[in-house]
Structure 1
Amino acid sequence: MKKRMLAALLLSALLFTISGCGEKSLLNKKEPVSLTIWHVYGEQAGSPMDLLVQEFNRTVGQERGVQVKVTGTSSASKIGGYLKEAQSGGQEVQEMPDLFTCHISDATALGEENLVDWHDWFTEEELSDFVPGFLSDGMADGRLLIFPVSKSTQLLMCNGSGFARFSDATGVGYDDLATWEGFYDAAGKFYDWSGKPFCALDYPIRAVELCAMERGSGDFYTENGWYDTDNAVFKESWMQFARSLAQGHVVVSDLYSNTQVMTGDVVCGLGSSAAILYYNDTVTYPDNTQEPMDLHVLPMPKTAGADALMTQAGVGLCAYKTTEQKAEAAALFVRWLTEAERNLDFVAQTGYMPVRNGAFDAISDYDNFPAPAAAYESLYAALKTMREDYVPVSEPRFEGYYGKVSVLYDGLRQLQQELPARAAAGEDIDALAEETWALFCSIR
């Protein structure tokens, strides 16, 4: 991580920062307090978050008497379940961590009274330097339960080498992928040209939602945390996706689309901006031939003629409420972690969006991207376009929502194994797409 200007001054300021309220510190260098953390920022050795934890421990943590230990890493979709298990206190589950990354729905499921309210530890002046929408995304009943560390959105990541051959043969270019109409048309042409699906989608329900909103669907959520299946605009948005799925033009990813792009099963993946952390420099095909990935990152498609929407996703940091000393220690770590230049370094290494005002502008001049730098530059160019031209929309926060989505995706993966063959045999495409809608409607 690059050297920081005025590092000594910033470190000194942190050492004398006690809390947002200016109370006497409960921390003692001679009797250090230990914090455990679960996070989602890479399970590989030397993940960016793990390296930051190590840096904190040997600097500010050592000076103030706080040591942070990573005791768990997993996906955001799984951590919520693990937290509920840990909270139950069973003998065969991990102990509840002091700090953890999660979605707001998972946080509230733990009980708001069991979590630290970051308002108690950060002043309004401090919070004013963070993107307001990112702060509100972590709020529940007036409490700031999730502190923003990074935010992601969804965009299109393409195997540039494979797409170039497709483009030369068909005339389809990257510009054609700017709209949903052009995206699905390109997917059909790619399938006709190659016999393979064009794109693997990690979160198809979110793509359907945003497309429906852009078309003027209005509110389509129900009280039980699912969707109003009588909403005609929402259904048509679903059917646009489902017709493409039924013909094999697109697929629901096995788990994360980067794997299928890297093995040549598809030429592009629609998923989180943070997925760039898991892309290789090369594509390795089933016959073991390889070629450069030449990763091209594009904004998420939008509905032609409509105001573009983008998902505002990504977890933040929660602190489980135990002692005031641990709460202060957690606030010290979070304050250090989200310091402006450090946060910029962190997101630039991981494919996320920075959380402080003005930090996005600084990315334009950033020169310390990891290799391959061209891929990261492409990513942040796409993110910059979306930040300027798209309206961010928070994800649903119903308790149990992600469990229902997981059931839906498992069902779609089963259907996509048979639907394309039936379509090729002459069955009606709309009828096949209706089978996916029936699956969707069965989830309550």
Structure 2
Amino acid sequence: MKNNWKKAAALLELGALLLGLTGCAQKKEPIELTVWTYYNGEQLGAFNEAVEAFNATEGKNNNITVSASSLGSVNDLEQNVMDALQGKVGAQKVPDIFSAYADTAYAVDNMGRAADLSPYLTDKDKKEYIQSYLTEGDFKDDGSIKVFPVAKATELLVVNDTDWQKFAEATGTSADEFATIEGLTAMAQRYYEWTDSLTEEPNDGRALFGRDAMANYMIIGAKQLGYDIFETADGKTIVNLPRDVAKKLWDNYYVPYVKGFFASSGRFRSDDMKTGNVLAFVGSSAGCTFFPDHVTNGDGDSYDIEVKTYQAPKFEGGADYAVQQGAGMVIINKSDAQVEAAARFLKWFTQSDWAIEFSVSSGYLPVTVADNDMVKIENSSPSMKKGVRKSLNTAVQTVKANTLYTTRAFETGTQARKKLEYAMSDAAQADRAAVEKALQGGTTLEEATAEFVNEERFDAWYTQLMNELSEIVGQ
């Protein structure tokens, strides 16, 4: 690809020379654009190469020069952007474009600084993108685009198939059960009981499953069951999580966790799979470059495993929704010429061959409808690792088979999401620790969990969660 764009650059130089000789060239005023990102590793390298290619081709043809800088982590980037916009002492000059998640973009928009890109895209242009990616940046339901999508992700179910097959053959378990959350919960109980039966030690069954991003579980689970946990309209947000919906979420995470059927110990569940603590987990498709290919157990024994990926399970009878993840790009509202040039760069970037290379370099998905095609992805990245290829294939299937969903941005959205991230998982971890202590004292699993697996425990948790969420959103 590098050779292709260098050849194109040479042709452009020749064309410009010929135009100059005939006196027909009318150069536009030069425009310099600065882009701030949080990218690192292969993703940063792919983005920088794309910027170089733009500058040598499309940019040169339109007198636009782009310079890009990585400012560290997402939090570092956000702080630098806010410092610049607020004119703090020592802050850098405000960039023209920066990477951002929707909540940060929403805050910048409330400052009147986020440009609307809708006027710079034709209706035909807009149809080329997956629609939910564009509407994520429509904060006021007026058709505006305040966040331009560049790379996205969803969630996958990742399974250590090598060890799972042993369990499946011994118990007659089918992979079809992975399709639903209830099926996965039942399978996890069966796995715990099977592993418990392999030793004389009572209550030493093993966990089958773990989950990253608990907020996603609650938000997408509720959506599949017909509810937006956070309903935002006309600048106001309310909490909408009926008790029966919350109870279903509880019964399929907290309850199996407290009983030892689910687990979490490492920073990410892929870490738990590497140590053999779980056989399966739901995590971001963007993490596919980190999915394990071997297990090293507590005894220090290490062995290779075959990993399979499935679409993330859904609630039985639920609607076909899957999570939408990934930051986009925000253009700062400057002169019309600056905004138009920035929009030109982002449109070129997401619709060029570089879009696929940039996305798959770190396990993300491209954002146009046409590019979400595995044949096209494989042709663009022939050296892609086998595990990444399988994961991206499942992710593409997810995009095509589901409506992608994320909550609408609102002022306290980050805080509200954080509450969902830890409310159930913290309760489950604390109560599981108490259960383990009781088991060590000689009680049965049923006796040890009776204090926690009941309506009173759920109602106390649910009431507290609803009160805290209502306070966060100002309801």
- TM-score of Structure 1 vs Structure 2, range by shorter chain: 0.7 to 0.9
Aligned to 1:276: 288
Counterpart for residue 202 of structure 1: 212
TM-superposed deviation, 1:295: 2.5
Pairwise CA distance, 1:232: 2.6
The one-letter amino acid of 2:285's match is: S
Letter in 1 for 2:131: P
1:221 matches 2:230: yes
> d(CA) in 1 for partners of 2:46 and 2:191?
36
Does residue 1:343 correspond to 2:368, yes or no? Answer: no
1:119–1:47: structure 2 CA closer, same or farther, 3 Å change rule?
same
Q: Which moved more, 1:101-110 or 1:364-373?
A: 364-373
SS state at 1:271 partner: strand
Establish whether residue 114 from structure 1 lines up as the match of residue 123 from structure 2: no
1:15-414 alignment, distance < 5 Å: 27-28=29-30, 33-39=32-38, 41-42=39-40, 47-56=45-54, 60=58, 64-75=63-74, 83-91=81-89, 96-112=94-110, 113-141=112-140, 142=142, 143-192=144-193, 193=195, 195-215=205-225, 217-221=226-230, 225=237, 227-251=239-263, 255-324=267-336, 326-361=338-373, 363=375, 366-367=378-379, 369=381, 373-414=385-426
Which amino acid is the alignment partner of residue 105 of structure 1? D
Q: 1:443 is matched with which residue?
A: 468
**2:185 match: secondary structure:** helix
Instruction: For residue 114 of structure 1, give the secondary structure of its aligned residue in structure 2.
Output: coil
Distance 1:199 1:371 in 2: 31
User: Structure 1 residue 178: deviation in Å?
Assistant: 0.8
Tell me by how many angstroms 1:300 deviates.
0.9
Q: Output the CA distance in 2 between the equivalents of 1:178 and 1:78.
A: 38
**Bigger mean CA offset, 174-183 vs 262-271:** 262-271
- What is the CA-CA distance between 1:126 and the residue it aligns to? 2.9
Larger mean Cα displacement after TM superposition, 265-274 or 203-212: 203-212
Tell me which moved more, 151-160 or 57-66: 57-66
Specify which structure has the higher proportion of helix. 2
- Inter-partner Cα distance in structure 1 for 2:54 and 2:304: 37
3-state secondary structure, aligned to 2:151: coil
SS at 1:398 equivalent = coil
- Looking at structure 1, the residues matched to 464 and 187 of structure 2 have their Cα atoms a distance apart, in angstroms, of 26
**Which residue identity is paired with 2:361?**
Q
Residues 72-122 of structure 1: per-residue CA shift (max 9 Å, x gap): 2434x8865664455334447666543222232321211252012213433
C-alpha distance in 2 between matches for 1:359 and 1:100: 23
Amino acid at match of 2:134: L
1:180 Cα offset (Å): 0.8
> For each residue in 1:115-141, what CA deviation from the matched residue of structure 2 results, as whole angstroms up to 9, or x when unmatched?
122134333443332233322222233
RMSD: 3.7
Gaps of 5+ in 1: 17-23
1:164/1:273 CA distance change after superposition, 3 Å: same
Shift of the 198–369 alpha-carbon distance from structure 1 to 2, 3 Å rule, reads farther
C-alpha change, 1:342 and 1:51, in structure 2 (3 Å) is: closer
Asked if the contact 1:66–1:329 (Cα under 8 Å) also holds between the matched residues in 2, the reply is no
The residue type equivalent to 2:139 in the other structure is A
Mapped contact 1:201–1:269 kept (Cα < 8 A): yes
Asked whether the equivalents of residues 299 and 383 of structure 1 are also in contact (C-alpha less than 8 Å), the reply is yes
Rounded Cα–Cα distance in structure 1 between residues aligned with 2:56 and 2:458: 56
Within 2, Cα distance between the matches of 1:285 and 1:49?
Answer: 38
Q: Specify the structure having the higher radius of gyration (Cα).
A: 2
Shift in Å, 1:152: 1.6
Q: Distance in 2 between matches of 1:330 and 1:214?
A: 37
Give 2:443's aligned residue: none
Q: CA deviation at 1:401?
A: 1.8
Tell me how far apart the structure 2 counterparts of residues 325 and 343 of structure 1 sit (CA, whole Å).
24
Q: Any unmatched runs of 5+ in structure 2?
A: 17-25, 197-204, 439-447, 470-475
2:199 paired residue number: none
Q: 1: distance between equivalents of 2:219 and 2:353?
A: 34
Mark the CA change 1:434 to 1:289 in structure 2 (over 3 Å): closer, same or farther.
farther
Whichever residue aligns with residue 204 of structure 1, its letter is M
Between 175-184 and 186-195, the greater mean CA deviation after superposition? 186-195
Query: How far, CA to CA, are the matches of 1:427 and 1:184 in structure 2?
Result: 17
Contact 1:155 1:272 in 2 (8 A): yes
Deviation of 1:274 (Å): 0.9
Equivalent pairs counted in the alignment come to 430
SS at match of 2:373: helix
Q: CA–CA distance in 2 between the matches of 1:115 and 1:2?
A: 33
Residue of structure 2 in register with 1:19 after alignment: none
After TM superposition, the structure 1 stretch with the greater mean CA deviation from structure 2, 315-324 or 280-289, is 280-289
Distance 1:202 1:227 in 2: 23
Pairwise CA distance, 1:368? 5.1
C-alpha distance after superposition, 1:127-175 (max 9, x if no partner)? 3322333222222333211112122211212233333343344333432
**How far apart are the structure 2 equivalents of 1:136 and 1:7?**
37
CA–CA separation in structure 1 for the residues paired with 2:130 and 2:81? 27
In the alignment, is the contact (CA less than 8 A) between 1:150 and 1:355 conserved in 2? yes
Question: Post-superposition shift, 1:419?
Answer: 1.4
**Mapped partners of 2:167, 2:90: distance in 1:** 52
Deviation by residue 1:262-293 (Cα, 9 ceiling, x = unmatched):
34332222122111133354334444433334
2:449 alignment counterpart: 427
Give the TM-score taking structure 1 as reference length: 0.81
Letter in 1 for 2:415: G
Q: Please state how far the C-alpha of 1:385 moved relative to its aligned partner.
A: 3.2
Which amino acid counterpart does residue 103 of structure 2 have in structure 1?
Answer: S
